[in-house]
Structure 1
Amino acid sequence: MTRILLILAVTLASFGPTRAEDTEVEAWAKEKCVRYERAWNRAKDFIGLEGVSAEFIKGNEKFIADGCSSGADVCPHTPKEIELANALTMAAMNFGTASSFLPFICRQR
């Protein structure tokens, strides 16, 4: 019985991510953030920030400063913010991220 438990434990342990997989996941998370930051800077340059609230700008900049790991906390309200959010969403999807990566969410108050 002990031998079976040992074999089962070793087998189950082998299903977890390896160190190499952890490193790859971390590297991809960092790369996604770098790409998002580039997209944010390009969107600001091409679309502009007129009509964009300080809250929207700070939310995106905080998301980037936190390594894109602080979660969704940016809600686009104005037409310009929606335009920026749409452009950033398209850019992020084009570079292979899931939509859940993005910082956009509008919570009910």
Structure 2
Amino acid sequence: MIVGLKPVLVSADETPTAWQLAKCRFYEETWRDMLAHFGPGALSEQFVDQNERFIAAHCLQRIEVCPKTENDLAVANALTLGTMNGDVGGTFLPFRCD
């Protein structure tokens, strides 16, 4: 049997580790690059809001970020590849749709 690992999240009264903050900075930098590349209005408002909330929470809260459009999906894919190339594990990423 294979057991999936769930990321450990920090509660409001705990201080994030240096590695947690570094992963979030890397994600945020990649996100900002994608926003600049695609330009204003190219991504769905919901996708932008969800990513901004994830970053504002220092990437520690389980905020669902769901790509809905082709451009959203392209950015989600770029963020996934970029963060994995930066040694940030896939379990860190917020992409999920219910």
TM-score, structure 1 length as denominator? 0.71
Highest Rg: 1 or 2?
Answer: 1
Determine which structure has greater relative contact order: mean sequence separation of CA pairs < 8 Å that are 6+ residues apart, divided by chain length: 2
Q: Which runs of 5+ in 1 are unaligned?
A: 1-22
- SS of the residue corresponding to residue 17 of structure 2 reads helix
Residue-pair matches, total: 84
Q: Which runs of 5+ in 2 are unaligned?
A: 1-14
Q: Could you list the structure 1 runs, at least 4 aligned residues long, displaced by more than 4 angstroms after superposition.
A: none
Q: Comparing 48-57 with 68-77, which one deviates more in the overlay? A: 48-57
Q: Give the Å deviation of 1:72.
A: 4.3
Percent identity between matched residues is 39
Structure 1 partner of 2:94: 103
Structure 2 partner of 1:57: 48
Structure 1 partner of 2:6: none
Measure the CA separation in 2 of the matches of 1:88 and 1:52: 14
- The equivalences for 1:1-109 within 5 A come to 26-107=17-98
Pair 82,75 (structure 1): closer, same or farther in 2 beyond 3 Å: same
Measure the CA separation in 2 of the matches of 1:92 and 1:67: 15
Measure the CA separation in 1 of the matches of 2:92 and 2:21: 12
